[in-house]
Amino acid sequence: MLSITLVINAVYVVCAALFIFGLKMMGHPSTARKGNLLSAVGMLAAIIVTLLDNAIVSYQWIFIAVCAGTLVGILAARLVAMTSMPEMVSLLNGVGGIASLLVAWASIHDAVEINQLMLLVGFLAILIGGVTFSGSVVAWAKLSERIAGRPLVFAGQKFVNLLIVTAIVVCGYLFVTQPQLDTVTYAVVGLALVFGIMLVLPIGGADMPVVISLLNSYSGLAACAAGFALQNNLLIVAGSLVGASGVILTQIMCKAMNRSLSNVLFSGFQSVVSSDMVIEGEVKPLSAEDAFYVLEAAQSVVVVPGYGMAVAQAQHALKELQDLLEENGCEVAYAIHPVAGRMPGHMNVLLAEADVSYEQLFEMDEINPRMETFDVAMVIGANDVVNPAAREMQGSPIYGMPVINADLAKNVFVFKRSMASGFAGIDNPLFFKDNSNMIFGDAKDSLNAIIRQFDDD
């Protein structure tokens, strides 16, 4: 007999395949949009077929919640500015986490007969979901500068954290052994939320790419744990796909900073490494006019964007300059460091918004071998990712980090607001090199000044 449960699960198999195909098509920019659509079709099929479930007897609340959620989702996705994408992704991670928490909570509350394994995975889903939610909210607040982006640490924080972890373990034990106690559930939910806050507070703004990737993976793992609690295959498959994606991104980000994950998560607690090496030299400021003369004569230019480009919203001016340079017969390439910006791929999205072809964007390893051939390297709002100290100064806090070797280009223009050092708080010997010049001021204004020179010419 063709039971409804069988039909539902058969459709779930197809949905899982659609998710995997969708992600596979994300492997290339030309197929990615179709891949996303495929994955969305899988999701829609899963939702529709789930609504046929006999266990659903009342559609009233489902209808209201789905409508409200759809409205918020559409508005958020339509209204968010491309420059606020890190905040948006971070919040989406957060809502995914809280949804998994609530599902696990409700399923345990609901269960007629419950075994300890289900309680254990339910506990994990609540814990991971709660950490994802509150951690993402803190990350969002840091990214949107509602709270300070620097690592926030206070005296006794380690002790407090130890206390929280102990409390979580104790409550976890009680949760599994005495599921009838509602107070324990409240305590677990509360502790998970506090733990998420404590985890992200001590992490600085420049390490946000790692945090967002990690929270992304947590949101998947939370769904996965909820899947175990509900014994739902599709939740497990989809959740682990997302978990894997987040783990891979986290690894890439950590590798690009030459740091371990634990170093990123806990380095806020260490005293700042002060290097006794003094970098001395003189910086050479350059006017927009002089920059124009060099750019006009250049055959090839490489642009190295960083978070400063996002802050100044300079991507459109940059594209305008690129067009002028190309009209002039100059080759323009973009060199993107994996941790440039505040999330993985941040620069690529901004440049795509400004209509820069993705074929002109190169990864660090592709561009470094031919850096010497470029006439000009324009460093726009990037600092640590082009710091030659990572290559040549043993003992520098960033020694060993893979960087874009902008200093090897024939000329280097550094677009910079002022002489403040980057997030890592270290001086950048690039600024003092013989072949580098500083163009001080807001990146967008400086670029526009150069563009005006082209127009006047």
Partner 1 sequence: MTGIYLLFILMLAIFVGFEVIRKVPATLHTPLMSGANAISGITLIGALALAGSESGSWSTWLGAAAVFFATINVIGGYLVTDRMLAMFKKK
Catalytic residues: 384
Which one, 63 or 269, has the nearer CB to partner 1?
63
| DSSP helix/strand/coil, 305 | strand
Residue-wise burial string across 94-114, b where 16 or more C-beta atoms lie within 10 A, e elsewhere: bbbbbbbbbbbbebbeeeeee
Site string for partner 1, 140-179 (x = CB under 8 A): ----------------------------------------
- Contact residue for partner 1 among 168, 223, 376, 408 (CB under 8 A): 223
- Contact residue for partner 1 among 53, 289, 372, 457 (CB under 8 A): 53
- Contact residue for partner 1 among 29, 190, 281, 400 (CB under 8 A): 29
Closest distance to partner 1 from the beta carbon of 120 (Å): 10
From start to end of 178-297, where are the E strands? none
Q: What is the dihedral of CA 74, 76, 82, 83, to 10 degrees?
A: 180
Is residue 360 within 8 A of residue 325, CB to CB? The reply is no
* By CB under 8 A, residue 58 contacts partner 1: yes
Closest distance to partner 1 from the beta carbon of 219 (Å): 5
* By CB under 8 A, residue 346 contacts partner 1: yes
- Contact residue for partner 1 among 123, 175, 228, 307 (CB under 8 A): 228
Cα angle: 211, vertex 216, 218; to 5 degrees: 95
Measured in whole angstroms, the distance separating CA 280 from the mean position of its chain's CA atoms is: 35
Residue 207 carries which side chain, given as an amino acid letter?
A: D
Residue with tokens 């986290």: 250
Q: What is the dihedral of CA 381, 368, 258, 256, to 10 degrees?
A: 60
| Structure token pair of residue 225 | 């744990």
Size of the site for partner 1 (CB under 8 A): 112
- Contact residue for partner 1 among 219, 405, 428, 437 (CB under 8 A): 219
Which one, 117 or 419, has the nearer CB to partner 1?
117
- Contact residue for partner 1 among 6, 47, 163, 169 (CB under 8 A): 47
Which one, 8 or 426, has the nearer CB to partner 1?
8
| Structure token pair of residue 5 | 């449960």
Closest distance to partner 1 from the beta carbon of 59 (Å): 6
Closest distance to partner 1 from the beta carbon of 78 (Å): 7
- Contact residue for partner 1 among 4, 6, 7, 51 (CB under 8 A): 51
- Contact residue for partner 1 among 252, 277, 279, 283 (CB under 8 A): 252
Query: For residue 411, what is the enclosing H or E element?
Result: strand 411-416
Site for partner 1, residues 78 to 97, rule: CB under 8 A: 78, 80, 82, 85, 88-89, 92-93, 95-96
* By CB under 8 A, residue 3 contacts partner 1: no
What is the dihedral sign for C-alpha 92, 94, 97, 101? negative
Q: What is the dihedral of CA 88, 93, 95, 101, to 10 degrees?
A: -170
| Structure token pair of residue 403 | 């960087």
> How far is the C-alpha of 424 from the C-alpha of 73, rounded, in Å?
36
Residue 348 carries which side chain, given as an amino acid letter?
A: N
* By CB under 8 A, residue 28 contacts partner 1: yes
Site string for partner 1, 395-414 (x = CB under 8 A): --------------------
* By CB under 8 A, residue 24 contacts partner 1: yes
